[in-house]
Amino acid sequence: MEKRAIFQGRLLPFALVAPQLVVTLVFFYWPASQAVWQSFLQEDAFGLSSEFVGFANYRDLFAKADYYRTIGTTAFFSALVTALSLSIALFLAVQADRQLKGATAYRTLLIWPYAVAPAVAGVLWFFMFQPSLGLVSQGLRGLGFTWNPLLDSTDAMALVVMAATWKQVSYNFLFFLAGLQAIPKSVIEAAAIDGARPVRRFWTIVFPLLSPTTFYLFVVNVVYVFFDTFGIIDATTAGGPAKATETLVYKVYSDGRVGGDLGGSAAQSVILMVIVIALTAVQFRFIERKVQY
Amino acid sequence: MAEVVLTGVGKTYAGGVTAVTDVEFTVPDGAFCVLVGPSGCGKSTLLRMIAGLETITTGTVSIGGRVVNAVEPAERDIAMVFQNYALYPHMSVYDNMAYGLRNRGTPKAEIETRVREAARVLELGDLLARKPRQLSGGQRQRVAMGRAIVRKPQVFLFDEPLSNLDAKLRVQMRVEIRRLQRSLATTSVYVTHDQLEAMTLADMLVVMNKGRVEQIGAPLDLYRRPETLFVAGFIGAPPMNLIDVAIGPDGLRPVAGDAGIVGGLGIAVPATGARLGIRPEHLHVVGDEPAPEGGIALSYTVSAVEAVGAETFLHGRLGATGPDVVIREPGTIAAAPGTVRRVVARRDDLHLFDRETGRRIPLDA
Ligand SMILES: Nc1ncnc2c1ncn2[C@@H]1O[C@H](COP(=O)(O)OP(=O)(O)OP(=O)(O)O)[C@@H](O)[C@H]1O
Ligand SMILES: [Mg+2]
């Protein structure tokens, strides 16, 4: 069935899409094009004038060890958060799927974190793990661990990884649970009769059948870790100590806002933009083909 | 090879629904047992208890002399064919069939031989590399069968395996399943609500109703001598005519409508009343001949005639206003709607049931 509205004249359709167009133009294309333009400019030390420098900002960026370190940090951080949030969510979803009766309460509890804004989550975790007063820190100290994410870079990384993971688990959980429930019960029963024990059943039947969900979540999580964790990092460690938790997105902010290097910061934004576009393209390609099994 | 023995088997689900009550029967080694009954009567539940997919609330199930109540499905040495086939969607036809063997650590060469053999028997040879979604319904059905036979289990379990196929394919697969089961001589339990499927497949037919067994026996024995009203109405198509009867001055007469029955049966009808059963194919339209010895004659008002060539179905009523009765005559017969005809049935073809208890009242006693 074709659904097509017929409009008299030209004006009405434009009027109808105009708000959407304006929003997209003002909040996406305009800043994006600004960033691209900005990335080709260099300001003088006082920010009074700027000149066109071509790809100099990009060359500078890739010439500094600093940037590679941030790439490394981001890769490490993303890999850890994605792997953790996917596997924890999958584990919880499998448990919930087993006893769906009690799952409504269980499910609600697990969705909560997702309703919390990243910055709030960051503050929450910051307080819990605050070296001198934080509840968890005191507990850890009581157990004989020294814990200081403000000074120790490993502790800081652990903290942002935990906070970022905690936030993403609920989203992944919902998708995994839905994916699990879409697997016909009789297929699992057939495998049980076919002599596959639960663990083997999981890896040979359930996990492969979940692969479209897993792939979708993988892409979504990578995008999340790259961009949405800004609030968490800003509220907990502010990229520190000694830039140990500075990810690509955070560096855009700290170089641009704090360091005042607008050209370099813009160049970094453009690179990030290219990464998102690439990820989205990959996702669309696969979703379209539905990740064949 | 093994016999399957059920003793006092019952199932009450967690919610308090009792689906199966006190079921007791033995499927002899190599026999084809069919569980048949209306929707919701507990057939699947019973089958799943034999498979180990549901816990057994009361009683015991044993396979090959071993009580399996606490044995995992994998260790019961059974194979099951599901209504929706339950093929592994991400595996090729070959892998679907090989999966159970691999799980049991069968050597690779042996797996290959067995899968090829099953594929040959089921004519799946060209499809081994395909995924289930690339197969037709009938082919999927065959793969599900193949998955069951490669394992060479002690017992085959089938839960309405043909109900997703079209009528023609269903007949074809029915014959095939029977042939296969004969040649493998594997004990089988087959669930269906289709009485034709049940009659044609079974060595042993178990008719269930509301979680209980109504009657067990060879299909033709159940047809000839149903022990309860339920079985009488369930086995046979079109179903048996059941007429409420009472004793009048000149013998039996229907409770509703005018006296359309001529001739008594010489037996006492219970005070609670009885129901007379006559299959459509056992009623014959006749001229003036007397009723057969000990049998009955009815006066029948024809209301509709359905001639389908090989046979003719008459719809009408007993007497002028009595209960509806269907007659099935071989070939074509001349009977115009609105006419009153004389109809007879032999004594051996009559069934009498207690209306209250539903039990058969013997006519030969
Ligand atoms: N998991 C369950 N929990 C509670 N009640 C159930 C469950 N499964 C089945 N039942 C109930 O048990 C009864 C028997 O169900 P069952 O599936 O065995 O019927 P069936 O004879 O196979 O019917 P059909 O021909 O429709 O498949 C039904 O009343 C059904 O509602
Ligand atoms: Mg069923």
- Mark which of B194, B229, B264 sits at the end of a domain: B229
Token representation of residue B143 = 């793969």
Interface contact B147, partner A, CB < 8 A: yes
- Contact at 8 Å (CB) between B353 and B232? yes
Residue of B nearest to A293 (CA): B90
B211 CA from centroid of ligand 1 (Å): 9
CA distance, residue B57 to nearest chain A CA (Å): 20
Interface contact A198, partner B, CB < 8 A: no
Tell me the chain B residues in contact with residue A205 when contact means C-beta distances shorter than 8 Å.
88
Residue A15, classified by CB atoms within 10 Å of its CB into exposed (0-12), middle (13-18) or buried (19+), is exposed
Residues B273 and B189 in one domain: no
Q: How many domains does chain B have?
A: 2
Residue B236 lies in a domain: no
Q: How many helices (H) and strands (E) does chain A have?
A: 14, 2
From CA A215, how far away is CA A279, in angstroms rounded? 12
CA distance, residue A189 to nearest chain B CA (Å): 7
- Mark which of B179, B196, B229 sits at the end of a domain: B229
Whole-number pLDDT of residue B218 = 95
Q: Whose CA is nearest to atom 4 of ligand 1?
A: B13
pLDDT at A1 over 50: no
Residues B221 and B262 in one domain: no
From CA A71, how far away is CA B353, in angstroms rounded? 87
Interface contact B74, partner A, CB < 8 A: yes
Pick the CATH number of A53-98+158-290 from 3.90.1640.10, 3.10.20.520, 1.10.3720.10, 3.40.50.10490: 1.10.3720.10
Residues of chain B predicted below pLDDT 50:
none
Residue B118 lies in a domain: yes
Q: Whose CA is nearest to atom 7 of ligand 1?
A: B13
DSSP secondary structure string for all residues of A156-195: HHHHHHHHHHHHHHHHHHHHHHHHHHTS-HHHHHHHHHTT
Residue B362 lies in a domain: no
Token representation of residue A93 = 């979803």
Please provide the size of chain A in residues: 293
Closest CB to B90 among A193, A197, A293: A293
CB contact under 8 A, B100 and A192: no
Token representation of residue A213 = 């969900």
β-strand pairing of B324-330 with B340-345: unpaired
Residue B209 lies in a domain: yes
pLDDT at A2 over 60: no
CB contact under 8 A, A209 and B90: yes
This prediction has a pTM of 0.79
Q: Which residues pair with B34 in a beta bridge?
A: B190, B205
Among the residues of chain B, which ranges form H helices?
A: 43-51, 93-103, 108-121, 137-150, 167-184, 195-201, 219-224, 229-234
pLDDT tens-digit profile of A195-210? 888 889 999 999 999 9
- What is residue B339's three-state secondary structure? coil
Half-sphere exposure of B52 (CA within 13 A, CB side): 24
Residues B93 and B21 in one domain: yes
Interface contact A203, partner B, CB < 8 A: no
CA distance, residue A289 to nearest chain B CA (Å): 15
Residues B192 and B325 in one domain: no
Whole-number pLDDT of residue A60 = 75
Task: Write out the residue range of the structural domain in which residue B275 sits.
Answer: 241-354
From CA A113, how far away is CA A104, in angstroms rounded? 16
Q: B41: Cβ below 6 Å to ligand 1?
A: yes
Spatial CB neighbours of B110, under 8 Å, sequence gap ≥ 6: B101
Residue B200 lies in a domain: yes
Residues B219 and B265 in one domain: no
Token representation of residue B197 = 């499927």
Interface contact A102, partner B, CB < 8 A: no
Candidates B44, B57, B195: which one to mutate for ligand 1, based on the most atoms within 8 Å of Cβ? B44
**CA–CA distance from B266 to each of A120, B244, B261 (Å)?**
92, 17, 14
Q: Which of B44, B50, B53 to mutate to test the interface with A (most CBs of A within 10 A)?
A: B53
Whole-number pLDDT of residue A46 = 63
Whole-number pLDDT of residue A93 = 87
Residues B145 and B274 in one domain: no
pLDDT at A273 over 90: no
CB contact under 8 A, B99 and A209: no
Whole-number pLDDT of residue A45 = 61
CA A152 to chain centre: 24
- Contact at 8 Å (CB) between A222 and A78? yes
Is residue A105 left, alpha or beta, with left meaning phi > 0 and alpha meaning psi from -120 to 50? alpha
Average pLDDT over residues A243-262: 74
Whole-number pLDDT of residue B112 = 92
From CA B160, how far away is CA A173, in angstroms rounded? 35
Contacts of B308-313 with CB under 8 Å at 24 or more apart are B313/B238, B313/B280
In terms of pLDDT, which residue wins out, B213 or A15? Answer: B213
Strands (DSSP E) found in chain B: 4-12, 18-27, 32-36, 58-63, 66-67, 78-81, 155-159, 187-192, 204-209, 212-217, 241-248, 251-254, 261-262, 274-278, 284-286, 296-307, 311-318, 324-330, 340-345, 350-354
Prior bond to B238 cis, omega within 30? Answer: yes
The CB density around residue A183, as the number of other CB atoms within 10 Å, is 15
From CA A253, how far away is CA A234, in angstroms rounded? 10
Residues B60 and B103 in one domain: yes
CA B181 to chain centre: 17
Confidence at A264, pLDDT banded by 50, 70, 90? confident
Residues B285 and B342 in one domain: yes
Written as one letter, the residue type at B33 is C
pLDDT tens-digit profile of A219-242? 888 888 887 777 777 777 776 777
Whole-number pLDDT of residue B280 = 94
Residue of A nearest to B148 (CA): A194
Whole-number pLDDT of residue A289 = 61
pLDDT at A102 over 60: no
The CATH code of the domain that includes B133 is 3.40.50.300
Residues B283 and B204 in one domain: no
- The residue behind tokens 């819990």 is A128
Output phi, psi for B302, to 5 deg: -75, 130
Output phi, psi for B350, to 5 deg: -95, 145
Closest CB to A189 among B86, B90, B100: B86
Using CB atoms and an 8 Å cut-off, which of residues 145-164 of chain A contact chain B? none
From CA B358, how far away is CA B325, in angstroms rounded? 20
Residues B115 and B258 in one domain: no
Confidence at A5, pLDDT banded by 50, 70, 90? low
B20 CA from centroid of ligand 1 (Å): 9
From CA A168, how far away is CA B281, in angstroms rounded? 70
pLDDT tens-digit profile of B151-210? 889 999 999 998 888 888 888 889 989 998 998 899 999 999 888 899 999 999 999 999
Q: Whose CA is nearest to atom 25 of ligand 1?
A: B39
Residues B302 and B173 in one domain: no
Which sequence spans correspond to the domains of chain A? Answer: 53-98+158-290
Residues B148 and B93 in one domain: yes
**CA–CA distance from B101 to each of A191, B63, B79, B287, B290 (Å)?**
11, 21, 12, 67, 68
Q: DSSP secondary-structure letter at B301? A: E
Q: B19: Cβ below 6 Å to ligand 1?
A: yes
Average pLDDT, chain A: 77
CB contact under 8 A, B104 and A193: no
Q: Which of A101, A183, A185, A193 to mutate to test the interface with B (most CBs of B within 10 A)?
A: A193
- Mark which of B229, B264, B279 sits at the end of a domain: B229
